[in-house]
Amino acid sequence: MAEVVMYSTVVCPYCVAAERLLTSKGVGEIRKILIDQDPALRDEMIERTGRRTVPQIFIGDHHVGGFDDLSALDRAGGLQPLLAGE
């Protein structure tokens, strides 16, 4: 299974929803980068994604985007293959 990295904050309902969706797809571990605890990590997220909102989700080297993007990818049938590294 591909590595999942999620930029997040401690209190973020969309982050919780994204984690719930990923867990339901069999993801056992999500590496969370909490940007509200370190401003340098927020800057890193913005530089990597061009976005300021959380969550920002990476599956392998692929930037999925936020929860709405993740959910749309799942509905289109693209999430499971990406998680499988296909």
As for how many domains the chain has, the answer is: 1
For residue 61, the domain's CATH number is 3.40.30.10
Residue 79: domain span:
4-83
Checking if the pLDDT of 86 tops 80, the result is no
Q: If we measure between CA atoms, which residue out of 85, 68, 27, 48 comes closest to residue 7?
A: 48
In this prediction, residue 85 carries a pLDDT of 86
The percentage of the chain sitting over the pLDDT mark of 70, rounded to a whole number, equals 100
Which 8-state DSSP code applies to residue 28?
Answer: -
pLDDT tier for residue 1 given thresholds of 50, 70 and 90: confident
Checking if the pLDDT of 66 tops 90, the result is yes
Q: Cα–Cα distance between 38 and 43 in angstroms, integer?
A: 9
pLDDT tier for residue 46 given thresholds of 50, 70 and 90: very high
What is the gyration radius of the CA atoms in the chain, in angstroms? 12
Q: If we measure between CA atoms, which residue out of 20, 11, 3 comes closest to residue 62?
A: 3
Determine contact, residues 59/17, Cβ cutoff 8 Å: no
